[in-house]
Copies of this chain bind each other. A is one copy, B any other.
């Protein structure tokens, strides 16, 4: 199971959400604790973890949070400022990763419910193949649309057979990510995840099938759903949150 690789974690937490009163997501409370708490608590259990870089839009508030929940005494954590887009924020995080790191795990703070065993599979695969993301099969009918006389019309139904909804964590070797950033960090391309940048560089991205429970907290009602799942999560993972 273990890979013996040195792992650095970058947590993207700089994004603000208009749906949460412009509060950065890492501070949004889930069962009374900030979202950042949950990701840190679980990722702290990873074998080989050497450091965690938290990217934030409010360095001071993040440091207070880390102090309050006593993370600083247990983990090596750097807090760095975010950028304009998500991809710039993650790049700022990556720029602070130690060069001795072998694998870089990138995670969105809005997903507190990832399954640690899925993440371990992702790490193992990235240790072999250089890159791996979590995803779940698309079960809905998806259609592509276009505008026609100001009306939205369907241009085609997408064959969903091979489609996956992509989640985080995503894991890459330091070298692979570093090489991709050399090519694209100043590019005008918008990447919705780092894997897309790796794909563009011509390298293969591997996929491990995750779970539907690893939802992204996007709307306020997602917090209630997450709260319910969290209770079950404690049961199966054995992590005392």
Contacts and interface: CB of A to CB of B under 8 A. Distances in A.
Contact of A166 (B141, B152, B205): B141
Interface stretch (A45-53, A62-70, A77-85, A218-226): A218-226
Given A195-B143, A218-B139, A207 B163 contact: no
Q: Which of A145, A156, A207, A208 has the most CB of B within 10 A?
A: A145
Copies per assembly: 2
Contacts of A152: 206-209
A192 B141 contact: yes
Interface string A149-178: 001111111101011111000000000000
A148 B135 CA distance: 17
Contacts of A41: none
B207 A157 contact: no
A212 B141 CA distance: 14
Interface residues of A, number: 48
A164 B158 CA distance: 10
A146 interface: yes
Nearest to A198: B154
Contacts of A138: 142
Nearest to A205: B154
A145 B161 CA distance: 9
A165 to B, nearest CB: 5
A88 interface: no
B192 A160 contact: yes
A163 B139 CA distance: 14
A143 B166 contact: yes
A146 B205 CA distance: 11
A209 to B, nearest CB: 7
A207 B154 contact: yes
Contacts of A225: 225, 228
A146 B154 CA distance: 26
Contacts of A212: 219
A11 interface: no
Contacts of A146: 162
B129 A206 contact: no
A53 B125 CA distance: 50
Contact of A157 (B129, B192, B218, B229): B192
A144 interface: yes
A193 B141 contact: yes
